[in-house]
């Protein structure tokens, strides 16, 4: 028999830095009725876009409401996460207790311990084929890489793509997914003391070639790239950096290539030579997986299924994250907030795991 669950959620009622505006809201989750389901969070990451939402600078943001009983209109942070069904209403047909699932939509608010929702808002996952980390982080970075590699240029086995931010989360998934699709890749990374070690890590994931920003900027290095590709045109470029890094990368693209920009880590504009548009017929587009999901929810579901298939076949490895564990039995509001602050300060992608 289901009894009420005390839930805690990381909420904000004003925009600002997460360390300053996030607080913990405690509330009760009642028994589900009809097509309602009660979910327990298993894991939820902190993505850069999540931070930007809290700051109020991200174009897609959840509405501030008093739905959870907060004193002021508020929103729960987080867009991505893995949940387990712990109770179902008498009209629920898509889920059973114990099933894993992820939100179908965007701006759902995943930084919480439990929630009450309806079955239509979640997509079921096969818990036997995935780890918690894989499932909790499947909807953003690997799906971004998959869509960029499959939807914008008609790439065939043996074709080449080039990307900057090669060791980013999306970059590492693009390397692996590209290899699984039979594609060849050139990944650009920042120069650093341990560059050989980093290059080897990316080669181990399936990278064809890895170059530094210095090599990317060297005009004479273009000859080396042509030798690698055997003269075949590089038909797709993936940009998450911008600035001079992008300009140098774009010069390596071939005739009728597509350039996708999905980030701007350098905070510098996209600057492209006019000659690429006139003489190479370059197509430059923006990519935003959130908008793709809003425009076509079925596309998001199919992309998740495609990535799931790669995981199940052993063709995709999860990119490492920093895990911060929460013990639900002993959890207090103070402990929850302290864990969140620790995760915020971590270098790299953080994942809060609920046990």
Task: Give the contacts of 321 (CB within 8 A, at least 6 positions apart).
Answer: 45, 133, 137, 348, 349, 350, 351
Bridge partners for 211 per DSSP: 188
Candidate list 12, 15, 58, 203, residue with the active-site label: 58
The b/e string for 164-173 (b: 16+ C-beta within 10 A; e otherwise) is bbbbbbbbbb
CA distance 293 to 303: 10
Closest of 132, 200, 174, 197 to residue 316, by C-alpha:
174
CA distance 236 to 255: 10
Query: Six-digit token pair at 32?
Result: 């589900």
Bridge partners for 205 per DSSP: none
- Residue 311: active-site member: no
CA distance 63 to 45: 20
Query: Six-digit token pair at 109?
Result: 């608010």
Positions marked catalytic: 58
């Amino acid at each position: 028999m289901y009894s009420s669950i005390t839930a805690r959620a990381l909420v904000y009622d004003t925009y600002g830095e997460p360390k300053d505006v996030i607080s913990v809201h405690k509330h009760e989750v009642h028994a589900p009725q009809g097509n309602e389901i009660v979910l327990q969070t298993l894991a939820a990451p902190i993505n850069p876009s999540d931070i930007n939402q809290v700051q109020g600078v991200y174009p897609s943001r959840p509405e501030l409401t008093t739905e959870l009983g907060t004193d002021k209109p508020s929103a729960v942070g987080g867009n991505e996460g893995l949940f387990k069904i712990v109770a179902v209403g008498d009209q629920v047909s898509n889920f059973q207790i114990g099933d894993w699932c992820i939100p179908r939509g965007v701006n759902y608010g995943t930084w919480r311990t439990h929630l009450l929702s309806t079955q239509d808002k979640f997509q079921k996952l096969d818990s036997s084929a995935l780890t918690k980390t894989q499932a909790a982080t499947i909807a953003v970075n690997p799906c971004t890489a998959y869509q960029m590699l499959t939807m914008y240029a008609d790439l065939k086995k043996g074709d080449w793509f080039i990307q900057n931010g090669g060791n980013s989360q999306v970059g590492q998934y693009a390397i692996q997914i590209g290899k699984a699709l039979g594609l060849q890749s050139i990944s650009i990374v920042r120069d650093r003391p341990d560059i050989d070690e980093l290059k080897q890590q990316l080669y181990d994931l399936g990278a064809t070639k890895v170059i530094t920003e210095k090599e990317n900027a060297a005009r004479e290095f273009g000859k080396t790239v042509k030798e690698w590709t055997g003269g075949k045109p590089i038909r797709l470029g993936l940009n998450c950096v911008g600035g001079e890094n992008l300009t140098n990368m774009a010069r390596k693209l071939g005739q009728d290539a597509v350039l996708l920009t999905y980030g701007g880590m350098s905070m510098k504009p996209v600057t492209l030579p006019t000659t690429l548009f006139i003489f190479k017929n370059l197509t430059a587009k923006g990519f935003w997986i959130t908008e793709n999901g809003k425009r076509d929810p079925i596309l998001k579901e199919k992309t998740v299924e495609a990535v799931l298939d790669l995981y199940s076949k052993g063709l995709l490895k999860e990119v490492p994250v920093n895990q911060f564990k929460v013990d639900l039995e002993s959890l207090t509001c103070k402990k929850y907030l302290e864990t969140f602050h620790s995760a915020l300060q971590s270098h790299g992608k953080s994942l809060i795991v609920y046990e």
